[in-house]
Structure 1
Amino acid sequence: MTISNIRFQELPKIIDERGNLSFVESPRFIPFDIKRVYWIYDVPGGEKRGGHAYRTLNEMIIALSGSFDVEFDDGENKAKYTLNRSYTGIFVPQLIWRSLTNFSTNALCLIIASEDYDENNYIRNYSEFVSLKKIASANE
């Protein structure tokens, strides 16, 4: 997988004078079966979340409130995007290094994952990640 496999996903936005509503459905808006949903909040100023890749897990990241940056690295290329709309998600495939930074006050980050939590699925060492990417590229 490379940075080119990352993609934005517009979610439905139902506008109503009483308040807007957005939603996700699998596989209509989420390109995988949903196994786990979690959220990150109350991130102190200047802190960074993530800083890892997954061996097999895919995810959708959504800024439900506030904003934050998502930095991606596929071992060769890097990209950075700001999420700040509750009706736009970003699909992140496996084997992409990701970090979440620059959280605004009261930011709420929702992450929808394709697999249950498994510590063995995490790649937390960047050098190991680059080595695995080279192996994966050679096998393609």
Structure 2
Amino acid sequence: MREYAPPYLLEFAKLGAPDIGYLSVAEPPSPSLPFAVQRVVWTYYTPESIVRGRHAHFRTEQVLVAVAGRIIVTTELADGTLQSFRLEDPFVGLYVPPCAWHTMQYSHAAVQLILASTPYEEADYIRSHAQFRQVWRVPQ
């Protein structure tokens, strides 16, 4: 299987000023967007008590952005490496490779933008944690 970079934070350009507001841009190819976007998804009105995600992918790479509110993202690699990321700036994204199990927990007003490298295909999702560990296990 292809090797991917582990999850990491990336910054998008932040253009503007406090007196007029800001905008950020993601255009591939660029250091801020490591793939061509094939799908855009956003989540909102997620209750704070709900943990979403709980999956990995075979092929899909993603960048997650908290365009409003706060999102805590926890990633796990098949070797057991855990990382936690706090997304709360709309110009900061989190790269999530297919080989990372991930969960998200939201503040009440959070809006999450997801940029994905592939169109939706249910067969690309790994929804069983045990299967994720088997598929992406580190060779000995």
Structure 2 partner of 1:114: 117
> Is there any run of 5+ residues in structure 2 with no aligned partner, and where?
none
Structure 2 CA distance for aligned equivalents of residues 69 and 40 of structure 1: 14
> Is there any run of 5+ residues in structure 1 with no aligned partner, and where?
none
Amino acid at match of 2:70: S
Q: Relative to total residues, which structure has the larger helix share, 1 or 2? A: 1
Amino acid at match of 1:107: A
Structure 1 residue 124 and structure 2 residue 120: aligned? no
Amino acid at match of 2:58: R
Structure 1 CA distance for aligned equivalents of residues 52 and 68 of structure 2: 16
Structure 2 CA distance for aligned equivalents of residues 122 and 93 of structure 1: 12
TM-score of the pair, normalised by structure 1 = 0.91
Report deviation, 1:7. 1.4
- Secondary structure class of the residue paired with 1:24: coil
Residue of structure 1 aligned with 2:89, choices 77, 85, 88? 85
Q: Relative to total residues, which structure has the larger strand share, 1 or 2? A: 2
Would you say the 8 A contact 2:47–2:107 is kept in 1? no
Structure 2 CA distance for aligned equivalents of residues 34 and 20 of structure 1: 22
Structure 2 partner of 1:49: 52
- Secondary structure class of the residue paired with 1:37: strand
Structure 1 residue 98 and structure 2 residue 102: aligned? yes
Amino acid at match of 2:12: L
Residue of structure 2 aligned with 1:73, choices 68, 73, 76? 76
Structure 2 CA distance for aligned equivalents of residues 34 and 10 of structure 1: 16
Structure 2 CA distance for aligned equivalents of residues 105 and 94 of structure 1: 27
**Root mean square deviation, CA, Å:** 1.5
Report deviation, 1:27. 1.3
- Secondary structure class of the residue paired with 2:40: strand
> 1:5-44, CA deviations, whole angstroms, 9 ceiling, x for partnerless residues?
2111111111232211111111112111110001010001
Structure 2 CA distance for aligned equivalents of residues 51 and 81 of structure 1: 15
- Secondary structure class of the residue paired with 1:138: coil
Report deviation, 1:66. 0.4
Report deviation, 1:119. 0.2
- Secondary structure class of the residue paired with 1:20: strand
- Secondary structure class of the residue paired with 1:63: strand
